[in-house]
Amino acid sequence: MKKLYVAIAVLLVIFACKPQHQSANNARKQKETWVFIMAGQSNMAGRGIVEAQDTITNARILTINNQNQIVKAKEPIHFYEPNLKGVDCGLSFAQTLTKSLHDNITILLIPTAVGGSSSRQWLGDSVHRNVKLLSNFKEKVAFAKTQGIIKGILWHQGESDANAKAIPLYNDNLTKLFGIFRKEVGDLKLPILIGELGAYSKTPTEWNAINEIIKQYVANDPNSYLISTIDLTHKGDFIHFNSEGQRLIGQRFAETYLKSVK
């Protein structure tokens, strides 16, 4: 009987210790997972042609599928518009980052961009192309917090605001929206990296106006960073970056982050 009591006591000790061990491992895993949220419209969602180099996976570069399951990242990463999927900047961004980070750091990319969405629609939590924009962002942020530490937001948007009615409101919209983003993440100094609109538009006056507003915003927000796109090329539609352009934007997002934030 005494041996039985001793055996039971040992088992109780083992079970008592196991959750603590798992908790410590989970905490370490979360600390070593850097999460980046990708948000905006089609040039963040990606419209480039997927090529072989865009499908090479890396155990240190992860994303989610449309069922919120963690998977190895490969292009296309965004999944909200099944008929419009293409290369975005995410994989290139993560590939560039991992080359400069310690081997124990994993990158988790969380896609939330939806093509054609305006800043007003994001602020209003509109349902756009079957996605409730801000609610989806918040849901993805809540999930991301369980997986790692949110290190920043990659933002590319503005084509849908490049018109006479929306341009005067764009700075205020960005200010409000980025405030919401940071509050949701729980970091009022969260880095937000903002890509310029391309320099190839058929309506250059309007696109240039949006780019000037982005520059002004970055100048007044010490935790935001501008990513230049002036030299990049469209895919033939005068709207979307081609695959090479998307890869270059990703590299520039990463290089800016490593130089100015990390």
User: Is-contact 143 63, C-beta < 8 A?
Assistant: no
Q: Whose CA is closest to 234, among 19, 47, 28, 6?
A: 47
What does CATH list as the number for 30-260?
3.40.50.1110
With bands split at pLDDT 50, 70 and 90, how would you rate the model's confidence at 262? Answer: confident
Give the pLDDT mean for 211-228: 98
Q: Around Cβ 216, how many Cβ atoms within 10 Å?
A: 13
| pLDDT digits 0-9 by tens, 37-87 | 999 999 999 999 999 999 999 999 999 999 999 999 999 999 999 999 999
Give the pLDDT mean for 11-22: 45
76 φ, ψ (degrees, to nearest 5): -80, 145
- Write down the domain spans for the chain: 30-260
Average pLDDT, the chain: 92
Question: What pTM value is reported for the model?
Answer: 0.90
| pLDDT digits 0-9 by tens, 132-143 | 999 999 999 999
User: Is-contact 107 62, C-beta < 8 A?
Assistant: yes
User: Is-contact 10 207, C-beta < 8 A?
Assistant: no
Instruction: Give the rounded percent of residues in the chain with a pLDDT score beyond 90.
Output: 88
